[in-house]
A and B are shown apart, each in its own frame.
Chain A
Amino acid sequence: MNTLDIKAIREDFPILKREVNGKPLVYLDNGATTQKPKAVIDAILNYYTDMNSNVHRGVHYLSQISTDAFEVTRRKVQEFIHAKHDYEIIITKGTTDSINLVATCFGQEFISAGDEVIISAMEHHSNIVPWQMICEAKGASLKVIPMTEAGELDMDAYKSLLGPKTKIVSMNYVSNALGTINPVKEIIELAHDQNVPVLIDAAQAVQHIKIDVQELDVDFLVFSGHKMYGPTGVGVLYGKEEWLNKMPPYQGGGDMIKDVTFEKTTYNELPFKFEAGTPNIEAGIALNAAIDYINHLGLDNIKKYEDELLAYATERLKEVEGIKFIGTAKEKSSVISFVVEGTHPYDIGVLLDKLGIAVRTGHHCAQPVMEQFHIPGTVRASLAVYNTKEEIDALVAGVKRAVAMLV
């Protein structure tokens, strides 16, 4: 497929037909979670209707087919991000879970008193707090790469932060609050020059931008299923084999062991070493359908269309008197964050909701970002492949109407 048939794509998402507050739903909160195509919903239904059984355990038929389906997802993820081995794909609960795993296990092994961890000023709380916790436990310190008024990283500052004390760099590919696409390739190269590994939070990138972990040479890459048209409760941690092998296990329990006696337990191999307990099986299996769906549309096509939509939305929103965009980086992806003079983001969000338009308002779990811009929060419209120019028109009309009422 070269150009996307958006009308046909919308037909794949049952929820897009519903009304909200008596108006057709205009769903522009895709940065929080995307809607699910029928193929994903069917995969969940099919799992419970046809194959429900615990994975990696039974010799019986159902357990084998559910295990097979679950493992198909692992290999699908491997292909999707072009990892070298399928056992480098750890299935987690989501991005937050993946980051906590790395912060805890990497931190336990490699971070000591006096060491430094580098993050950026535009991180989601989930890529701040786990590092703060491990730094506090180990007596290490957290260093933050500052950003400019446009919402771009200060790369010179990054270079000067990197040093012999740096143990790991952890930052996002795309900022959830600002939409900035960060120069991750350069960030990784600079860190590797000093033998420092890098974790990339791709929660807001993987559904928009083609990622090749080997080409990026990234050490850890994390993302969530539910922001990429897949189910909630499942996510991915990609880690280079050498790092994953050097790290101690995360949680103890079933699945992650080889032998257990009361004296000593030996741990299972990758990836199971990091997958204690029964996973979210239906979500794991349905993630496969979500990736198939993205592959079927083609990430390049998706990006091209979303970029066009983003440019259109940005241009049209400029018509709103008093609007100020927060995050005006040159390289942006699918997110428009703004405030309007004389209004509170919350008020605009409430009124848009009454018009059937779903946006996110508030600090987007990135309070330090809001602090830098001296605002309580923003209104954020975040796009997905099923959004249309007509929906952007509805948003612009809604914002104008809200502002007229509020100011």
Chain B
Amino acid sequence: MTINEIQDELIEDFSFYQDWMEKYELIIQLGKELPLIDESNRQDQYIIKGCQSKVWLVPELKDDGKLYFTADSDAVITKGLVSLMVKVLSGHSPKEIADADLYFIDQIGLKEHLSPTRANGLLSMVKQMKLYSLALQAKVS
């Protein structure tokens, strides 16, 4: 699936829930289901500091030329949001990731989590994912 197809699918998944608490139930569920990253990767070099919750993001460029992400957070809602990002962006070429327009966050009503004043480190994480992609793209070309 392309990045946009995955986004559209998530928008549909979330459209079943009208109530905020139900939406968060789903996010928390996703957070709990996100595979834990390897303990050895819970290092400072992978940390993206939000003000309140920590996020670890580990990139890996595999032989298929695609960039894969694993991630984790110490707060479960943040982890759920992180898992959405990983779902959408992981497993695509660096160019696709760098060019991606992440419209799904806005459409499922989670835009507030990407505001720069938000203390969850999510915005920094998206920036970091894009930066890795740009760096790899530059390296490949």
Chain A interface residues toward B at CB < 8 A: 21, 343-347, 350-351, 354-355, 361-363, 376-377, 401, 405-406
* Complexed CA–CA distance, A43 and B119 (Å): 34
Q: Do A350 and B24 form a contact, CB below 8 Å, given A344-B53, A362-B52?
A: yes
B24-A376 in contact (CB<8A): no
Q: Do A351 and B78 form a contact, CB below 8 Å, given A346-B119, A376-B52?
A: no
Q: Do A405 and B24 form a contact, CB below 8 Å, given A346-B77, A350-B77?
A: yes
B74-A376 in contact (CB<8A): yes
A406-B52 in contact (CB<8A): no
Collect the chain B residues with CB atoms within 8 Å of residue A343's CB.
Answer: 76
* Complexed CA–CA distance, A21 and B18 (Å): 12
The 5 sampled A-B contact pairs (Cβ below 8 Å) are A21-B20, A344-B76, A350-B24, A350-B77, A376-B74
Of all chain A residues, the one with the shortest Cβ separation from B74 is A344
Collect the chain B residues with CB atoms within 8 Å of residue A401's CB.
Answer: 21
Q: Do A406 and B28 form a contact, CB below 8 Å, given A344-B53, A346-B120, A354-B20?
A: yes
Chain B interface residues toward A at CB < 8 A: 20-21, 24-25, 28, 51-54, 74-78, 119-120
Nearest chain B CB to A348 CB, angstrom units: 9
* Complexed CA–CA distance, A21 and B51 (Å): 23
> CB < 8 Å: which of A21, A346, A354 contacts B78?
A346
* Complexed CA–CA distance, A35 and B24 (Å): 29
Nearest chain B CB to A22 CB, angstrom units: 8
A362-B20 in contact (CB<8A): no
A346-B25 in contact (CB<8A): no
* Complexed CA–CA distance, A350 and B53 (Å): 12
* Complexed CA–CA distance, A351 and B28 (Å): 11
Q: Do A346 and B53 form a contact, CB below 8 Å, given A362-B119, A405-B28, A406-B28?
A: yes
Nearest chain B CB to A400 CB, angstrom units: 13
Collect the chain B residues with CB atoms within 8 Å of residue A363's CB.
Answer: 52
* Complexed CA–CA distance, A343 and B28 (Å): 11
Collect the chain A residues with CB atoms within 8 Å of residue B75's CB.
Answer: 344, 346-347
* Complexed CA–CA distance, A361 and B51 (Å): 10
Nearest chain A CB to B27 CB, angstrom units: 9
A354-B77 in contact (CB<8A): no
* Complexed CA–CA distance, A86 and B20 (Å): 52
Of all chain A residues, the one with the shortest Cβ separation from B78 is A346
Of all chain A residues, the one with the shortest Cβ separation from B81 is A350
Collect the chain A residues with CB atoms within 8 Å of residue B54's CB.
Answer: 376
Collect the chain A residues with CB atoms within 8 Å of residue B53's CB.
Answer: 344, 346, 376
A351-B24 in contact (CB<8A): yes
* Complexed CA–CA distance, A19 and B133 (Å): 42
Nearest chain B CB to A178 CB, angstrom units: 18
Q: Do A377 and B21 form a contact, CB below 8 Å, given A344-B74, A344-B76?
A: no
Collect the chain A residues with CB atoms within 8 Å of residue B78's CB.
Answer: 344, 346-347
Collect the chain B residues with CB atoms within 8 Å of residue A21's CB.
Answer: 20
* Complexed CA–CA distance, A20 and B76 (Å): 23
* Complexed CA–CA distance, A346 and B78 (Å): 9
Nearest chain B CB to A341 CB, angstrom units: 13
A345-B28 in contact (CB<8A): no
B25-A377 in contact (CB<8A): no
B76-A347 in contact (CB<8A): yes
* Complexed CA–CA distance, A361 and B25 (Å): 20
Collect the chain B residues with CB atoms within 8 Å of residue A355's CB.
Answer: 21
* Complexed CA–CA distance, A401 and B25 (Å): 11
* Complexed CA–CA distance, A355 and B74 (Å): 23
> CB < 8 Å: which of B21, B52, B74 contacts A361?
B52
Of all chain A residues, the one with the shortest Cβ separation from B50 is A346
Known contacts A347-B78, A350-B24; 10 additional CB pairs below 8 A are: A344-B74, A346-B52, A347-B75, A347-B76, A354-B21, A361-B52, A362-B51, A362-B119, A401-B21, A405-B28
